[in-house]
Amino acid sequence: MFAGLALGVPLLLSLVLVAVATALAVHHRVPAAELTAPAAGARRRGDAWTVLAAATALGTAAACVAGARWAHDERLVAVSPLAAAAAYAAVALTAEATWPRPTARVRSARLLVRSVRDGAPGGLLGGALAAGLLLAAVCALGSALGAPDGRSVEWRSPDGVAVWSAATFPGAALTAPVAAAGLAVAVLTAAVLHRVPARPAVPGADEGTDEALRRVAAHRVLRTSTAAAVLTLAGLLFAAGVSGQLGGTYQVAEGVRRTSEPALGWRVAADAALWTGPLLVPVALAVLFRPARGLRRHRATAGAA
């Protein structure tokens, strides 16, 4: 029942968000007929590579989950969102690196300085950075608190008689591959964000159109990586919540029982992690399906009307 809800609710939410994002994209989409041929071609190229990147990401995630079932290794499930984001960013980087260069005899270029910040929205950039830092902090904390097996957490009574253990906890065995995947995503995302301002301008496109096409490319990779980091964070926090079960009463001699529990702060933190985790799932989905501010229709000004 709980497993069904845990899988069904995010899936339903994803479908709703996909529908809303698609409706918004269709509503705001400028018809190709209103764009110059090179601009329409550039947008078509960007869309085609995005579909390929999304398919690669979904395939990677599915392969991770299937591999986890086959190998009985939960680490593959833990890294699946970040592996998918890394695959997406790798395809996006290929798209940027192979962006067509001008071939006309006479070529022109604006003397315009472009930077990563021009393309990547500040809010999303800050969100990505915050999600990455939080994920790194949770990985470091989980590794430090986890039991030597790297998959569980232990609590030992002060007299050493009783030991409680809870699993699955994000210890070193789980957080090491997550941290490695997170690092790969960060490097690939940064590479794409640096590549976007340096790709050739679309010939004949005005400054606004060219900027919008770059902004969309940066937005797509940034939100995918951020959503993957937040989703992974949600999973790790939820798993860390099991540490709240540690402690209890134990028998030291005939008729003598003692109680040993971690400090109140520990239990509060564990409960907070247990509840924060699921709450982050809709946040991750909202980031993933947040539409970019792309090309907009030119509206007639009041003076022209």
Partner 1 sequence: MSGLRVLVDTASPVPAYEQLRRQVATLVTTGALRSGDRLPAARALAADLGLALGTVQRAYRELELAGLVVSRRRTGTVVTASAAPVAEEVRWAAEGYVERALQAGLAGEEVLDLVRDALLRASSRRAPAR
Q: Kindly state whether residue 204 participates in binding partner 1, applying the rule CB under 8 A.
A: no
Q: Kindly state whether residue 41 participates in binding partner 1, applying the rule CB under 8 A.
A: no
d(CA 151, CA 69): 17
d(CA 81, CA 54): 12
Contacts 24+ apart (CB under 8 A), 252-255: 252/159, 252/161
Output the smallest distance, CB 197 to partner 1, in A: 7
Q: Kindly state whether residue 198 participates in binding partner 1, applying the rule CB under 8 A.
A: yes
Contact predicate 32/40, CB 8 Å = yes
Classify the phi-psi angles of 31: left when phi > 0, otherwise alpha if psi is within -120 to 50, otherwise beta: beta
Stretch that binds partner 1, among 95-103, 130-138, 146-154, 178-186 (CB under 8 A): 95-103
Stretch that binds partner 1, among 78-86, 99-107, 154-162, 271-279 (CB under 8 A): 99-107
Which pair of tokens denotes residue 11? 């899936």
Q: Kindly state whether residue 20 participates in binding partner 1, applying the rule CB under 8 A.
A: no
For residues 139 to 178, the per-residue mask of contacts with partner 1, x marking binding by CB under 8 A and - elsewhere, is: ----------------------------------------
Output the smallest distance, CB 93 to partner 1, in A: 15
Q: Kindly state whether residue 117 participates in binding partner 1, applying the rule CB under 8 A.
A: no
d(CA 65, CA 80): 7
Which listed residue (110, 122, 123, 160) binds partner 1 by CB under 8 A?
Answer: 110
Which residue is associated with the tokens 């030119």? Answer: 298
d(CA 131, CA 125): 10
Which listed residue (103, 123, 158, 300) binds partner 1 by CB under 8 A?
Answer: 103
Which listed residue (108, 122, 255, 263) binds partner 1 by CB under 8 A?
Answer: 108
Q: Kindly state whether residue 106 participates in binding partner 1, applying the rule CB under 8 A.
A: yes
Contacts 24+ apart (CB under 8 A), 172-176: 172/142, 172/143, 172/146, 173/75, 173/146, 173/149, 174/74, 174/75, 174/78, 174/142, 174/146, 174/150, 174/236, 174/239, 175/138, 175/139, 175/140, 175/142, 175/143, 175/146, 175/236, 176/139, 176/143, 176/150
Stretch that binds partner 1, among 35-43, 112-120, 259-267, 288-296 (CB under 8 A): 112-120
CB-CB neighbours of 206 under 10 Å? 12
Which listed residue (111, 256, 300, 305) binds partner 1 by CB under 8 A?
Answer: 111
- Of 207-246, binders to partner 1 (CB under 8 A) are 207
Q: Kindly state whether residue 199 participates in binding partner 1, applying the rule CB under 8 A.
A: yes
When the beta carbons of 7 and 198 are compared against partner 1, the nearer one is 198
Q: Kindly state whether residue 112 participates in binding partner 1, applying the rule CB under 8 A.
A: yes
Q: Kindly state whether residue 102 participates in binding partner 1, applying the rule CB under 8 A.
A: yes
Residues within the interface to partner 1 (CB under 8 A): 99, 101-103, 105-114, 197-201, 207
